Structure 1
Amino acid sequence: MWWKRTLSSSYRCYLGRRRSGAKIWRCLTRATCSAPALPAGRITALQALDVWKRHFVENGVTEPEQSSQYIIAHLLGAKTIESVEQQRLAALLSKEETQQVWRLCSKRLSRMPVQFIIEEWDFRDLTLKMRPPVFIPRPETEELVELVLTDLQKHPGSGVAPPTCLEVGCGSGAISLSLLKSLPQLEAFALERSQDAVDLSQENASRLGLQDRLKVYHMDVIKDAEKMPGLFSSISVLVSNPPYLFSEDMATLEPEITRFEDRAALDGGEDGLNVIRQILTLAPDVLSNRGRVYLEVDPRHPALIHRWVEDNVEELRFVETRQDVSGKPRFCILQKEESHKAPEVDED
């Protein structure tokens, strides 16, 4: 189940194939529904799929077929129902398997995202552990990783030292771990205000064998700002998918989000720029000369960020805005430049 940011004031969730396209969820806020009764006798996986698809439909759970397919495929040891042999689907489930299906599908009735129900999801070429309340990475963030990878591969650095990446707000570790997997020479650091997310990032790094190349700090980029220049310097890339929703839009969030994900990972303040401004203020202190900042933002933000940086951060240059796959301005790229401001003269 993919969750995806849209360009309207709402923050909708999308369900699609793992590693493929996405479809919109128009989720309904309603009371938790009761599960259908357990069958008296044994049933097949195909029959269980049909029972739960119909029950999801009856209770307003959108993408009912895919919801049941992902959950049952997971219980059968697969990622998609298409990868399960027909013979296995037509075979009778054991009593224990049927009880597992009912237990997990019942969670979906409460609007729990499939990622949290099956406790994992794919991000690019990685399979990451997922659990609430840690933010679920969206499809646009895969595009953000691609932007960073493309630039790092074109400009790998001086050759004297390996390139380094600093991620602000790492969540499950998706961005940093994906970059590390694709660039063996890269070293990464990550900041995260939530202890739950720190723990999950470290767990994912260990599962992928990348724990020696990723150091995760339990820090708040706003509250602990004064500590950052002492910890990080000459960073090649600063990347972030920060909280960027306008506070007024938080009331429009769907129950899948409000009930299970960390709201602080979404709310960017009145104009959605609270954390973004802090990142951009600190960037010159931690980046190497010509080091870059890559941000995922609301489509209303690029022009605001461009003007704000010109007025407030002399050593940063706004390079460009990139569009996401739907053609919306989604990513901002900035670069540190040497300051040309004349030094102040002490006249005493």
Structure 2
Amino acid sequence: MPVQYILGEWDFQGLNLKMVPPVFIPRPETEELIDWVLEEEAQRPCTAGAQDGPVILEVGCGSGAIALSLLSRLPRSQVIAVDKEDAAICLTQENAQRLQLQDRIRIVPLDVTLEKSWTHLLPWGPMDLVISNPPYVFHQDMEQLAPEICRYEDLAALDGGKEGMDVITHILALAPQLLKDFGSVFLEVDPRHPELVSSWLRSRPDLHLYLVAVRKDFCGRPRFLHIRRSGPQCGCPVDT
């Protein structure tokens, strides 16, 4: 059994989070994704007189690690965290209360792969950011996962279908309905995905999304994507 489940808790971004099987255990790479989002937020120009921080949607909240880390580091932010698994919804709620962040987070049971699921999120939009560590493992690679992962963790949080893109494409199709003009999507992906995602976005110009940047993880693998929604009349090029 993974040590995080044995201990029943784990530190992530300086937060002590409760961990229970089979909810996916957050990995160190995901802390790098959060650091990148915080860097980008720090550079975002402030609107004169603005009192509110960003409105953020997290897709696939799991233990709440991403959502609660952003809430703790962005004091005026609001987060809507969604997951299709009841165990993840319950654990995120517990961790939000544990950290006394429950007043700034809405935790919603939602499967983004279902048609028109995004309409349930409209009352809380438009949003500044969409962030996700979605299921991105290529289905053929699932059999290569470590035995302790296969035995104890939720495999649905890992299996991204034939090319690992099943949930990623649903998130990208959903994003334009919810994001503000020039709002951003941040994703953790497989190293093979930057080119696949870039190609997919070129095939869907109707979404008005473009790849801004790719960032490598601490092992030098292209792991994180920043995608932006263009504003009106903006023909922004894809940059890989």
The TM-score, its normalising length taken from structure 2, stands at 0.92
Question: Relative to total residues, which structure has the larger strand share, 1 or 2?
Answer: 2
Residue 202 (structure 1) aligns with: 93
Q: CA RMSD in A?
A: 1.5
What is the CA–CA distance in structure 2 between the aligned matches of 1:229 and 1:310, rounded to whole Å? 26
Report the secondary structure of 1:327's partner residue.
coil
Report the secondary structure of 1:146's partner residue.
helix
What is the CA–CA distance in structure 2 between the aligned matches of 1:226 and 1:118, rounded to whole Å? 36
1:338 positional shift: 2.3
What is the CA–CA distance in structure 1 between the aligned matches of 2:45 and 2:101, rounded to whole Å? 20
1:236 positional shift: 0.7
2:89–2:109 Cα contact (<8 Å) kept: yes
Q: Percentage identity across aligned positions?
A: 48
Residue 289 (structure 1) aligns with: 181
When residues 177 and 254 of structure 1 are mapped into structure 2, their CA distance, relative to the original with a 3 A threshold, is: same
Confirm whether residue 324 of structure 1 aligns to residue 239 of structure 2: no
Q: Which runs of 5+ in 2 are unaligned?
A: 235-240
1:234 positional shift: 1.7
1:156-211 deviations in whole A, cap 9, x for unaligned? 65326431110000100000100110110111111101100000000000000000
What is the CA–CA distance in structure 2 between the aligned matches of 1:156 and 1:211, rounded to whole Å? 28
1:162–1:185 Cα contact (<8 Å) kept: yes
The TM-score, its normalising length taken from structure 1, stands at 0.64
Alignment partner of 1:334 out of 218, 227, 231: 227
1:310 positional shift: 1.6
1:254 positional shift: 1.4
Q: Which runs of 5+ in 1 are unaligned?
A: 1-111, 342-348
When residues 281 and 228 of structure 1 are mapped into structure 2, their CA distance, relative to the original with a 3 A threshold, is: farther
1:117-166 deviations in whole A, cap 9, x for unaligned? 01000101101000000000001000000011111111165326431110
Report the secondary structure of 1:259's partner residue.
helix
1:127 partner amino acid? N
2:52–2:76 Cα contact (<8 Å) kept: no
Aligned residues: 230
Alignment partner of 2:26 out of 129, 134, 137: 137
Residue 179 (structure 1) aligns with: 70
Alignment partner of 2:197 out of 305, 312, 315: 305
- 1:14-93 aligned within 5 A: none
Report the secondary structure of 1:116's partner residue.
helix
Provide runs of 4+ in structure 1 moved above 6 Å. none
1:324 partner amino acid? D
Report the secondary structure of 1:319's partner residue.
strand
